Structure 1
C-alpha cells in the first residue's frame, strides 16, 4: 500500500472512531441525527441519510461523492446541485452534503448537541468559542441552509465553528482529533445543569387502562415533560424547537389535562401515537421506536436546561410546512426506523 492509501485508511478509521464515540452519547447525537464527512482529494465521504453515527465502526454508513463536481457547482453559485455518488448502493448521501462540501477543513462534524442547542433555541446567543465561529439564522436543511453557510464563510473564511439557530453546530478541523478537541472545549463553556426533576406520583391503574393502547414511555426524563408543570407549559407553547424534532415527532404535541380528555379525543376519532397527560405521564404506541424516543429525550434535555422565564424561538408555521412536506426527510425517517 502506498503512503496516500495508508493515510486514507487511517483517516477513515480515525473518523469512524470519532463518530462512534460521539454517536454513543445521546447528549451529542440522537438516533439518525447529525452527520460527518472527510475529504480525500476530489472525493468526499459523507454519512448516508438515515444512518446512525453510533454505527460507524459496525456498519458502512458513509457514501463517497464527487467533491470536484460539488466545488464547481458551489463556485458557480449552484447550491441546488445534486451530489454524485461514486459507488453503487441503496444509501443516499446526507441531505446536508453541500454543507460539508462548503467547509474547507478535511474533517467536518455536524451535531445536535444538547448543551449547544439549549442556547441556540434562545435569542441573543453569545459564546467564548475556542475557535473562529459564525452564526447562521434558521434555514431549511439542504440548499437553503447551504446558501446561508456559504454567505457566512464569505464573511469569515477561517470559521471552524458554525452555530445554526434552532438546529445544531458544525465543526471543521484538520483531523478528527482537532474536531473533538474543539467540541470538548465548546461543551465545557456552554454546559448547563438541568432542572431538578419532579417526583412522580404513585402509578394509577385507572390512568393506564384509560390510555390503552398507548403505554407509558420508559424514560424518567421524558416523563418529566408531563410531570413538571414548568416543562408541560413549555411543551404546550414551545413544541417546534428543532427540525429533527418536528420531522420525527410532528408539528404539534397532543396534550391533555387528564386521561379522560385523551379517551374522549380518541372516541371522537383522534389517533395520536404520542400523548402528554398533565401530571400523569407521557404515553406512546408500540411502534413509536428508538429514533423517535431519542428525539423526544433530546427535547426534554433541551427544555430542562432553560432558565426560568427564558424566551425560546420556535419554528414558524411556514417553516414547519416545508419540513413536513419534503421527500428527502420522508426517506430519512423511513431509513432511521
Structure 2
C-alpha cells in the first residue's frame, strides 16, 4: 500500500506525469504508437494510461484511468483470470471517458514505487531479444537494482513473472522480448532513471544507404505505399537486419500491428507476387536493397512498428543469438481479446 499524497502534491505530480508521458510518447526510440504506459499511485488508487491511447497525446487528451489496486493485486496473487481484465477494477465514478486501463496494469500495480514507466525502448529490445541477454545486460546495469523477466505474454502470465522479483523491489525491469520498466518515488526521479538506463543500454544503429523510393513507388501501385517514416526502410537496406526480420517475430507489438513475422520479397517480386506466394496481404513488405512498402490501409500503429523493426534490427550485431516468439506465443497474442480491443482502437484512430 502506498500512502496518499496531499491534493496539491498529487495534482503537481499528475501534471508532471502528463508532461513526462508526452515526451516519452513523442520519442520513437522509447515508445511507438499506442505502446508503452505510465502510472502513478494515489494511496490504493492506480492512475494508468488507457489501453489503445498514445502517450504522445497525454497533454491534449485525458488518457489516464483510475484502478482499484488492492483487489487487482489480490487477483494476481490468487492466479484469478480476472486480473487479465483490468477494466473490471476501474473506478467508474472517476472514469468518465469509459476507457479501459492498459493491458500492462498489473505490471504497474506490482511495482512498489509510486511512479512507473513501461517503454518499448529500441536499445533495450535489441538486447532483450538475445538468448545471452542476462550476461549482456549485467555488464551495463551492474550498479542498478535490476531484474530480468523472461518472456511471458502480457497480462497475468507477465504479472506472475514479475511477482517473483517483488521482494527485491527492483527499480529497473528488463522484460525479455518486450521492453523496459523503470520505477521511482517521483516523476522527476523516474524520468532521470529512464534517461540513465537508456544511455547505459545504448547501441548505435548501423548506417544504411538511402531507399530507392522511385522504384518503390513504381512497385507500390496496386494497394501499397511508402512508409510515413524514411527510417523504416533501414530494415530492408541492411542485410543483417533483413535476415533478422525474416527469422520471425521478436516482440509482441510487432505481432499486434504488423502480423506474425515479416514478409520479404524475393528478387524481382512485386507486392502482388508476394501476396500470392504467402497467401495474404501483409501490412508491410521488405524489398531487400530497395526499402519497405506499407499496405495502403495500414494504420498509424503499423507505420510506427515498421520503423521500430528497423530501429531494433539495425542495432542487433551480426551473429547475435536471438530468441524469436514461438508459434504458440504468436498465436496467443493474435487471439487475445485484450489485444483485439487495442487493435480496434488503433484502426478507429487511423480513420480520424
**TM-score normalized with structure 1 length:** 0.91
Aligned to 1:91: 99
Structure 2 portions without partners, runs of 5+: 348-352
Offset, 1:213: 2.2
- Secondary structure of the equivalent of 1:272? coil
Deviations 1:113-137 (A, max 9, x none): 1111111111222233353111100
- Secondary structure of the equivalent of 2:180? strand
Q: 1:73 to 1:219 in 2, by over 3 A?
A: closer
2:200 matched to 1:198?
A: no
Q: 1:40 to 1:188 in 2, by over 3 A?
A: same
CA distance in 1 between partners of 2:206 and 2:240 (Å): 10
CA distance in 2 between partners of 1:164 and 1:77 (Å): 20
- Secondary structure of the equivalent of 1:203? helix
2:221 matched to 1:219?
A: no
CA distance in 2 between partners of 1:320 and 1:209 (Å): 30
How many equivalent pairs are there?
331
Offset, 1:218: 4.2
Deviations 1:182-218 (A, max 9, x none): 111111211111111134457338x715752212224
Q: Report 1:1-337 matches (<5 A).
A: 4-74=6-76, 76=78, 78=80, 80-81=82-83, 82-83=85-86, 84-87=89-92, 88-125=96-133, 126-127=137-138, 128-129=140-141, 130-154=143-167, 156=168, 158-201=169-212, 203-204=214-215, 208-209=218-219, 211-237=221-247, 239-260=248-269, 262-266=271-275, 270-337=280-347
**TM-score normalized with structure 2 length:** 0.87
Offset, 1:108: 0.7
Offset, 1:233: 1.8
Q: 1:24 to 1:233 in 2, by over 3 A?
A: same
CA distance in 2 between partners of 1:193 and 1:231 (Å): 13
Q: 1:211 to 1:38 in 2, by over 3 A?
A: same
CA distance in 1 between partners of 2:28 and 2:161 (Å): 28
